[in-house]
Amino acid sequence: MITINEHYLKLQASYLFSDIAGRVAAFQEKNPDKDIIKLGIGDVTKGLTRSAVDAFHKAVDEMADTTTFRGYGPEQGYGFLRDAIAANDFQSRGADISADEIFVSDGAKCDTGNIQELFSRDIKIAIPDPVYPVYLDTNVMAGRTGEFAEGRFKGLVYLDSTKENKFVPSLPAEDVDLIYLCFPNNPTGSTITREELKTWVDYAREHKALILFDAAYEAFIRDESLPKSIYEIEGAKEVAIEFRSFSKSAGFTGTRCAYSVVPKECTAYDSKGNKQLLHSLWNRRHCTKFNGVSYPVQRAAEATYSEAGKIQTRALTDYYMKNAELICKTIAKLGYEYAGGQNSPYIWIDGGMDSWQFFDMLLNKTGVVCTPGAGFGKCGNGYIRISAFNSYENVEIAMARVKEALS
Ligand code: MLT
């Protein structure tokens, strides 16, 4: 008899964004004339940059010619892309990361979900609340939690991110082994200072813990004093793995390219307390389960680092940040408290009522889709998240409707 992994039965019925998509589809079916504007899932809407598209086309032509054709590439990514990443995203900011510490992949969602395979079942995990659901659900699937009760899974240490701590959680009161951090944060849009991030690195060093640092939104940081990478903090290389993505920074949500950074000195321990290097374990996993991102996609990603590519890519995030500014202005005028939107494409709004109720009310009255904060955890209840990913014209229409409906 084939039996299932029963940990799956502990999960909430469906993945948050699938749940929302289902509700929006049902609403649209009932209200076919209603014009819906999606400011829910953080999915980009602008086309790829000229540089990326030209490189993409050129690489596709190379694939069509037997003399330049490429079959399987290196699982970890082509040297040309890993070199460009290391030089531009890290070395240029004083972070000593080398190309062979970069693992190119098809998404930060997959990477942040897959990385937990390297760790034992009985580690103590600290997870923010609210949180990007992937960190949580993948650990539930792996059996690292108890049952779900009163909005939380048993066995985890939740790091509350609230108005009181400006959505930057404090260090846990008890010992933990694995810590998930995401800055600029999804969903709250909050950022972390160098000093605050250093307290986490120091904690991890002291407790032989590991930080999984999700920096998928670093390209939206406008305040130059904020760290973009955890490796800008001294001592982080031994205790942190970082995740990055071209999805939001360069409009690659449908093109698929991301990477994780596993420094060679990054350490975990076996059951006897012996040091084990995570770089070789992740490399082993990557080679076994992944066959690399396609050559044209990696060429397109590489092109985002050319001189023209950098300017064009920056223009993409500037475009969405203008949307964020308009959303923040509207929300502030309506008298709502909010976080984010300054160095992040997400605006986290205290709606003053149950978040699913707010979601339904907004959809019914305005046709605007947001994400209910409760979908990100218990601390998210009462909040909604509005994403800045849409055209400026649509955001203008959406905000005019919101103003009218909520004034
Ligand atoms: C979000 O809206 O939180 C993100 O788009 C989800 C993702 O990147 O997977």
- Residues paired with 350 in a beta bridge: 383
What per-residue confidence (pLDDT) applies to 12?
83
pLDDT of res. 14: 78
CB 41 less than 6 A from any atom of ligand 1 = yes
Q: Is-contact 302 81, C-beta < 8 A?
A: yes
* Closest residue CA from atom 4 of ligand 1: 42
Instruction: Say what angle helices 50-64 and 295-303 make with each other, to 10 degrees.
Output: 150
Q: Is the CB of 244 under 6 A from ligand 1?
A: no
Q: Which atom of ligand 1 is nearest to the CA of 132?
A: 3
Check residue 13 and give its pLDDT: 74
Distance 187 CA to ligand 1 centre (A): 9
CA separation for the pair 121, 358 (Å, rounded): 38
CB 21 near ligand 1, within 6 Å: no
**Smallest CA separation from ligand 1 atom 5, residue:** 42
Return the structure tokens found at 112.
Answer: 């942040």
- Answer whether 42 contacts ligand 1 (Cβ < 6 A): yes
CB-CB contact of 221 with 188 (8 Å):
no
Q: Is 186 in the pocket of ligand 1 (CB under 6 A)?
A: yes
Residues sharing a CB contact under 8 Å with residue 134, sequence separation 6 or more, in sequence order: 109, 112, 113
Q: What's the CATH code, domain 53-306?
A: 3.40.640.10
Residue of 16, 20, 43, 137 with the most ligand 1 atoms within 8 Å of its CB, for mutation: 43
pLDDT per residue, tens digit, the chain (407 aa), is 999 999 999 998 778 888 899 999 999 999 999 999 999 999 999 999 999 999 999 999 999 999 999 999 999 999 999 999 999 999 999 999 999 999 999 999 999 999 999 999 999 999 999 999 999 999 999 999 999 998 899 999 999 999 999 999 999 999 999 999 999 999 999 999 999 999 999 999 999 999 999 999 999 999 999 999 999 999 999 999 999 999 999 999 999 999 999 999 999 999 999 999 999 999 999 999 999 999 999 999 999 999 999 999 999 999 999 999 999 999 999 999 999 999 999 999 999 999 999 999 999 999 999 999 999 999 999 999 999 999 999 999 999 999 999 98
Measure the N-to-C terminal CA separation of the chain; round to a whole number of Å: 60
Long-range contacts of 190-195 (CB under 8 A, 24+ apart): 190/161, 190/166, 190/339, 190/340, 190/344, 190/348, 191/221, 191/223, 191/226, 191/342, 191/343, 191/344, 192/168, 192/226, 192/227, 193/225, 193/226, 193/227, 194/225, 194/226, 194/227, 194/232, 194/233
* Spatial distance between the Cα atoms of 156 and 273, rounded to a whole number of angstroms: 23
Paired tokens of 273: 């307390």
Give CATH 3.40.640.10 domain extents, the chain.
53-306
Which CATH number applies to 6-47+308-406? 3.90.1150.10
User: Which atom of ligand 1 is nearest the CA belonging to 253?
Assistant: 8
What stretch(es) of the chain map to CATH 3.90.1150.10? 6-47+308-406
Non-local (6+) Cβ contacts of 159 within 8 A are 126, 127, 128, 129, 169, 170, 172, 179
**CA separation for the pair 259, 183 (Å, rounded):** 16
Kindly give the distance from the C-alpha atom of residue 143 to the centroid of ligand 1, in angstroms, as a whole number: 24
